[in-house]
Structure 1
Amino acid sequence: MPVVVVATMTAKPESVDLVRQACKKAVEAVHQEPGCQLYALHETDRTFVFVEQWADADALQAHSAAPAVATLFGTVGEHLDGAPDIKMLQPVPAGDPAKGTLRSA
């Protein structure tokens, strides 16, 4: 069963460009990881939001231990305004299933 994650991190004002570049580099690497169905980066103001979908809990577990994650957090750690916020989400069926549910690629 797919696992959906939303991860949010806020850059310090002087570090927005550095954090953006590190996030973009991570996206390229993570897209190659087994079980990655969606790893999309968005931003607003100084906050970067990853919307993720993994094939299953094992794929998410492998991702959390993957080099791309270690590199990302090693690069941006001191440039963040607080700790990242990572949430695993459960779907709530509602409305049209074609529009109300994330689907695998």
Structure 2
Amino acid sequence: MSVVVTAVVHPKQGKLEEALAAYGRYIDAVHAEPGCELYALHTDGSSIVVIEKWASRADLDAHAKGEVLAALGPELDALRERPADVTVLEPRPAGGGRGAL
């Protein structure tokens, strides 16, 4: 079963573009990871919301322990106010299949 993740990242004031650039350096590598179905960045102008979809919990766990996050994490640590607010969700499709990522 697929897994959806939301991560809200809170960059320090004036560091939003640097944080987005950090993600930009690694996003292709995340997309190439086994089981990555979606890894998309969004912003409201002050925070970054990452929407992820993984084919399985095992794929998400491998991503969490993988080389990409090991490299990206320290870069983001220097740019954010506090740790990201991460929520792992189990999809509950509704609406004839159109209600799911």
Q: What's the TM-score, normalizing by structure 1? A: 0.88
Report how far residue 68 of structure 1 moved: 1.2
Q: Distance in 1 between matches of 2:70 and 2:49?
A: 17
Report how far residue 76 of structure 1 moved: 1.4
Structure-1 residue corresponding to 2:81: 81
Q: Distance in 2 between matches of 1:67 and 1:46?
A: 27
Structure-2 residue corresponding to 1:63: 63
Name segments (4+ residues, structure 1) moved above 3 Å: none
Q: Which amino acid aligns with 1:31?
A: H
Which ranges of structure 1 fall in alignment gaps of 5 or more residues?
Answer: none
Which ranges of structure 2 fall in alignment gaps of 5 or more residues?
Answer: none
Structure-1 residue corresponding to 2:99: 100
Report how far residue 34 of structure 1 moved: 0.6
8 Å contact kept, 1:3–1:88: yes
CA RMSD of the aligned region, Å?
1.2
Q: C-alpha offsets along residues 70-105 of structure 1, whole Å, 9 cap, x if unaligned?
A: 1111101021022111100122333232x2012xxx
Structure-2 residue corresponding to 1:17: 17
- Structure 1 residues 37, 12: CA separation in 2 closer, same or farther (over 3 Å shift)? same
Q: Which amino acid aligns with 1:101?
A: A
Structure-2 residue corresponding to 1:37: 37
Q: Distance in 1 between matches of 2:35 and 2:78?
A: 30
Question: Which stretch shifts more, 85-94 or 73-82?
Answer: 85-94
Q: What's the TM-score, normalizing by structure 2? A: 0.91
Count of residues in correspondence between the two structures: 101
Q: Distance in 1 between matches of 2:61 and 2:93?
A: 25
